[in-house]
């Protein structure tokens, strides 16, 4: 392939990545109890979420906490950790899937809540679970060009409302086994928030260099996973099979263009389930003990999933470690980004 599938950044560093865990732990056994009427009627076994997806629990926000408030908290935390004042930020990108309105953007509340300057551009980048990686790449390009100096990327997700609606629908007398299977992925979702600050590498030698990566689109599969306020409907097998093909194509494209990711110190992947993670590991021959796993306790936190996992891993990474962020979003799209820690 020729074109822009692979890309390189020249003067951009990750200065901080932070996460906020939603405080209310909701176990998969609690979901089984909520769905007991339909599971019994449809002759479906309990513990499918744990046995099939590997999701033991996920988190919800406490009453009175909104997802965008959590994004503001994560952003403030990341700025403090990076030592960057809000007045220095030239760009805010919100990458949340969750949103309250079609307009205005979620970014405007985050911008206001953080007290960012009027000169700071702000907008949403929506690309399903891949949004955060896309946001980092876009911001890095703008830093490389000299248009901005510092960027803040955030994501805040809230799965509760969608899951409550799904419970009601699946417990209806008219629901079928096919309905349960199509909406199974909705039950793996979780709530959380993350933020990252990036800036010019030449001014921050202590930062973690964002080197570049690869992206690939398989948009002929855009109907395999469709989500909205009322629920998410997924062709699980089709999503896994075609997602794996797209990831494998992107992996080989990157290596053809000079990248070498076969011996990274950490592979930080978008967190979905046991089957997804194991299939990715097998497809491109990753070293399994270098792939951190967070979905059993957080579930799939959408675009916040990958940066939340990276924030957790940052505590054990050492200078010189090589990290590959690997994301896939419904649509289908995939991207991989190397960071030199």
Active-site residue set:
103, 129
Query: Phi and psi dihedrals of 320, rounded to 5?
Result: 95, -15
Cα(176)–Cα(171) distance, integer angstroms: 10
Identify the CA nearest to 332 among candidates 190, 223, 182.
223
**Given CA atoms 167, 299, 136, 112 in this order, what sign does their dihedral have?**
positive
């Amino acid at each position: 392939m020729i074109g822009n599938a692979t890309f390189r950044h020249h003067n951009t560093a990750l200065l901080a990545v932070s996460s906020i865990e939603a405080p209310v732990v909701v176990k998969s056994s609690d979901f089984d109890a909520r769905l007991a009427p339909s599971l019994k009627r449809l002759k479906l076994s309990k513990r499918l979420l744990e046995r099939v997806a590997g999701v033991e629990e996920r988190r919800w926000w406490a009453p009175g906490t909104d997802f965008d408030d959590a994004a503001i908290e994560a952003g403030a935390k990341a700025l403090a950790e990076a030592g960057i004042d809000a007045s220095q930020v030239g760009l805010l990108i919100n990458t949340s899937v969750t949103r309250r309105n079609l307009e205005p953007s979620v970014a405007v509340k985050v911008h206001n809540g953080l007290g960012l300057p009027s000169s700071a551009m702000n907008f949403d980048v929506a690309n399903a679970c891949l949004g955060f990686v896309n946001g980092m790449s876009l911001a890095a390009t703008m830093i490389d060009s000299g248009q901005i100096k510092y960027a803040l990327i955030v994501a805040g997700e809230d799965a509760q409302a969608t899951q409550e609606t799904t419970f009601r629908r699946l417990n209806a007398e008219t629901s079928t086994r096919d309905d349960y299977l199509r909406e199974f992925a909705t039950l793996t979702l979780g709530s959380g928030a993350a933020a990252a600050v990036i800036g010019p590498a030449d001014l921050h030698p202590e930062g973690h260099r964002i080197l570049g990566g690869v992206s690939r689109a398989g948009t002929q599969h855009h109907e395999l996973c469709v989500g909205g306020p009322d629920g998410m409907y997924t062709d699980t097998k089709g999503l896994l099979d075609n997602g794996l093909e797209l990831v494998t194509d992107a992996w080989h494209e990157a290596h053809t263009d000079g990248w070498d990711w076969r011996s990274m110190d950490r592979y930080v992947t978008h967190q979905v389930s046991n089957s997804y993670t194991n299939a990715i590991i097998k497809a491109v021959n990753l070293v399994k003990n270098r792939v951190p796993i967070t979905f059993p306790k957080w579930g799939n936190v959408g675009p916040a999933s990958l940066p939340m996992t990276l924030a957790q891993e940052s505590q054990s990474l050492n200078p010189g470690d090589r990290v590959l962020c690997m994301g896939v979003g419904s649509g289908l799209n995939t991207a991989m980004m190397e960071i030199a820690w």
